[in-house]
Chain A
Amino acid sequence: SAVISQKPSRDICQRGTSLTIQCQVDSQVTMMFWYRQQPGQSLTLIATANQGSEATYESGFVIDKFPISRPNLTFSTLTVSNMSPEDSSIYLCSVVGQANEKLFFGSGTQLSVL
């Protein structure tokens, strides 16, 4: 299994500012992802966080808006840049367990942008 710690759990931010979300896993994992869950909607994959290289972004998401770092196999950050109210969502870190048994999710970061 994998235990994921996400920080912060929630934040209220002003328009135009940036927020960095941290994801720490208790074991080394190969695959790590960032998802967004907008209010009342499903989860959308933002990007795959690649260790030691640039993240792989899904259609509709760009590095300038959502820069991602992954310096090692247990840690990643997602930054939401130049925020607007439309960025208000829950952001979730997700990893595949070492035994490749399933996709684990963090408890999420609830972001509200005023």
Chain B
Amino acid sequence: AQSVTQPDIHITVSEGASLELRCNYSYGATPYLFWYVQSPGQGLQLLLKYFSGDTLVQGIKGFEAEFKRSQSSFNLRKPSVHWSDAAEYFCAVGARGGYQKVTFGTGTKLQVIP
């Protein structure tokens, strides 16, 4: 069965600092990987996805993620964090074509301080 681990429950960064959120997955075949963001009182929004091809994926809001098969990781990065990035971030892995049986990690709550 597939699984996702987000080892950091809560992260605090200063505005303007760089950010990296960790994600490790377990899946027996080629993974389909996603990062979603959930802002307070709002729904889930897809930041980026990886299905195949270039292992460095660019997303919305200046985020990027790198797929590393050897490390079973798909870490999310942003070079300079803005206060509006404060939210909860979920890494997810999909099976059978990408969208069926998507398994989410437990999330990382990001706090941004001035």
Q: Size range of the interface on B?
A: 10 to 19
Task: Judge if A22 is at the interface, Cβ distance under 8 Å.
Answer: no
Nearest opposing residue in chain A for B101, CB measure: A45
Contact partner of B106 (CB less than 8 A), chosen from A42, A96, A100, A106, is A42
Are the CB atoms of A42 and B107 closer together than 8 Å?
yes
Are the CB atoms of A42 and B105 closer together than 8 Å?
yes
B residues less than 8 Å from A77 (CB atoms) = none
Segment at the interface with A among B15-23, B40-48, B61-69, B79-87: B40-48
Interface of chain B, helix or strand or loop or mixed? strand
Within 8 A of B (CB), among A84-114: 92, 96, 100, 102-103, 105-108
Are the CB atoms of B103 and A102 closer together than 8 Å?
no
Number of interface residues of A (CB under 8 A): 18
Report the separation of the CA atoms of residues A43 and B102 in the bound assembly, to the nearest whole angstrom: 9
Contact partner of A92 (CB less than 8 A), chosen from B44, B46, B98, is B44
Are the CB atoms of A31 and B90 closer together than 8 Å?
no
Q: Closest approach, in angstroms, between the C-beta of B98 and any C-beta of chain A?
A: 8
- 5 further contact pairs, Cβ within 8 A, besides A44-B104, A92-B44: A42-B104, A45-B102, A92-B43, A100-B98, A103-B99
Chain A residues at the B interface, C-beta cutoff of 8 Å = 31, 33, 41-45, 48, 58, 92, 96, 100, 102-103, 105-108
Give 5 A-B contacts (CB < 8 Å), ordered by A residue.
A33-B102, A42-B90, A42-B104, A42-B106, A43-B90
